Amino acid sequence: MRGKIGLIVGLGVGYVLGTRAGRARYEQIKKQAEKVWELDPVQEQVGKVKEFAQTSALAVPRVAWTGIVKIVHAASETKGTAGEKLDAATREAADAAEDVKKAVD
């Protein structure tokens, strides 16, 4: 989804910057973009993104950091061979990935 939006924005910017139609065409495009921005469905999505940023987005770095600490601890504190340490770190990484996924959802 982000790739499609990026493509559309890129094409729009390229058109505006590359066109020889001049200022009048630019103003026309700008006016249409503002109309789209002010549509209720667009503003609803903007509200959802703001809400997510204020709540969940702050939790993700904290959960990720906690997971990293657990992985390093498992790798450094586990007694045994290098393979056993790797297995312990891998288990912790899987748990940490699941925790980050839950925080994002």
For the chain, the domains span 1-38, 41-105
The sign of the dihedral angle between the CA atoms of 29, 31, 32, 38 is: positive
pLDDT of residue 21: 61
Averaged pLDDT in 10-residue chunks for the chain of 105 residues: 74 72 77 89 88 74 81 79 80 82 75
pTM over 0.75: no
Is 46 exposed, middle or buried (CB count within 10 Å of its CB: 0-12, 13-18, 19+)? Answer: exposed
Euclidean distance between the first and the last CA atom of the chain, given in angstroms as a whole number: 17
